[in-house]
Amino acid sequence: MAKENINADLLISTIISGIEDVKGKEISILDLREIENTVCDYFIVCEGTSNTQVNAIVNAVQKKVSKELKDKPWHIEGQDNAEWVLMDYVHVVVHVFQKHIREYYDIESLWGDAKTTLIETNY
């Protein structure tokens, strides 16, 4: 189990680095491990200002994770309209939203019991 956590931590930091490379906004990590019947251990949620930036975030994350960890998402959904793209790395699921869609679905409040960490960005 400990090895899996190290991999999850490394995956999370690599994903966040990919998001930051293209200036993704409002990055948060939701730790779901204490919640019963969840589909994964962590959500990473962020937003882009347009469908172009949402796609840039998704591409940056994919490239960085592939290059540094030799891993790729099990599944990606939502790239057609790029309002909400879900990237499933099995233990970590990344949600890349446009701001208005993120506000509408408000998944952070749906998972209100999760321990949430906000990532400070300097841009």
Q: How many CB atoms lie within 10 A of CB 123?
A: 6
Confidence of residue 1 (pLDDT cuts 50, 70, 90): very low
3-class DSSP state of 28: strand
DSSP structural state of residue 33: T
Domains and CATH numbers, the chain: 2-118 (3.30.460.10)
pLDDT at 66: 96
pLDDT at 122: 85
pLDDT at 54: 98
| Element counts in the chain: helices (H) and strands (E) | 4, 6
3-class DSSP state of 76: strand
pLDDT at 41: 95
- DSSP H or E run through 12: helix 2-21
Burial class from Cβ neighbours inside 10 Å (0-12, 13-18, 19+) for residue 105 reads middle
Model confidence pLDDT, tens digit, residues 55-80:
999 999 999 999 999 999 999 999 99
Model confidence pLDDT, tens digit, residues 25-48:
999 999 999 998 898 999 999 999
Q: How many CB atoms lie within 10 A of CB 36?
A: 6
